[in-house]
Amino acid sequence: MVSIFNLDGMEHHVRTCIPKVELVPAGKPFYCLSSEDLRNTHCCYTDFCNKIDLRVPSGEWTPLLDYWLIVERVYHNRQRLDMEDPSCEMCLSKDKTLQDLVYDLSTSGSGSGLPLFVQRTVARTIVLQEIIGKGRFGEVWRGRWRGGDVAVKIFSSREERSWFREAEIYQTVMLRHENILGFIAADNKDNGTWTQLWLVSDYHEHGSLFDYLNRYTVTIEGMIKLALSAASGLAHLHMEIVGTQGKPGIAHRDLKSKNILVKKNGMCAIADLGLAVRHDAVTDTIDIAPNQRVGTKRYMAPEVLDETINMKHFDSFKCADIYALGLVYWEIARRCNSGGVHEEYQLPYYDLVPSDPSIEEMRKVVCDQKLRPNIPNWWQSYEALRVMGKMMRECWYANGAARLTALRIKKTLSQLSVQEDVKI
């Protein structure tokens, strides 16, 4: 780092090396902030790169800069304390791991996750490690907390509505399930200059199902595990649990292979609930969020593409999810290695629409021409692939009400797993 400023009429030059752990917050370290008129600072990341001359700022050092220097030092010391002892907030006992904490509070309480003050404590003692993904909303980082990995989804401030909605849905009573991404915390970090909106969840090193299928083929057993666990997660999402500690039915509305994560055990966890809607069974109403985002065009059901979906009827949204699940199953089954035969990874409708299709292009293929992804004839030679192909067709009916339910799919795949002697 090299910095130059005026103090008492004299130019002061600073050239130094800063340990990586002190470059906080990640992406915009306080050490690297400049003030056009008062302090000119340049950060670089190669050997001897600070041997440069900077323009001398026109202004004089003022108490304001002293203040910023103090803020910088306090923030640095606080960050060091947090990294050395993440339990410094005192409200979390030192012997608790993140898994212990989430388990205790989600089983003994409402099942909606951690109390807000604990969420904030956890979020503010996470040390970000590396960026693992980017999207329209912002970035996803791998972070560390008490020796364990977590995923941190960082929304840009203009996506506050999406952040709030996703956090709200994840904290629905009784939502926690092994095949739905485990929510840990939500927090907004404001340093006076900009705001970061964090959503902290379980970390899964395989990444999304899309990434996984691009990298690997799967066995018949692996295919059944992926398909059954995805159906189990969706069935739990769709299910309404009646009672004082009940759960509303939830429809995902943006189900696709990029929004499903693959766990270490080869099971799926459904993620990205920012577009989800909840059904209030008592009033028979749907809490459609005021969100400008729409689902992914390639995975939109026919009734969504041609705008005939009944937005007041909750089952309509569940049926649209099932259509998308059928497309995800097609992606999985293509990568199944049966008898040494498998196909390369492709997105649904890869041969019928461009890489970023418009709604009109999708509507023409799906609604007007009534085309669906091709199911190869050779799948008939393998019972598991035959069953998968039959289920896909029953997920893709133009009439949403004729499609299978998530629970029916789960039962069919459970029976198939017994037939194929799959250890779940």
**Residues identified as active-site:** 254
Q: 38 phi and psi, to 5 degrees?
A: -115, -40
Q: What share of the chain is helix, strand, coil (3-state, %, to 5)?
A: 40, 20, 45
Q: Alpha helices of 301-342 — where are they, by DSSP H?
A: 302-305, 314-334
CB atoms within 10 A of CB 224: 25
- DSSP string for residues in 113-156: -S-HHHHHHHHTT-EEEEEEEE-SSEEEEEEEETTEEEEEEEE-
Cα dihedral 413→417→423→424 (10° resolution): 10
247 annotated ligand binder: no
Q: Of 32, 27, 28, 26, which is closest to residue 14 (Cα–Cα)?
A: 32
- Three state DSSP letters for 39-62: EEEECCCCCCCCCCCCCCCCCCCC
Give the DSSP letter of residue 35.
B
Cα dihedral sign, 413-415-421-424: positive
| Angstrom distance (rounded) from CA 278 to CA 161 | 16
| Angstrom distance (rounded) from CA 70 to CA 72 | 5
223 to 71, 241, 302, 394: CA distances (angstroms): 53, 29, 26, 18
CB 229 within 8 A of CB 270: no
Strand ranges, E, within 330-421: none
Relative to beta strand 277-280, strand 249-251 is: antiparallel
| Angstrom distance (rounded) from CA 407 to CA 389 | 18
Q: Residues at the annotated binding site for ATP? A: 153
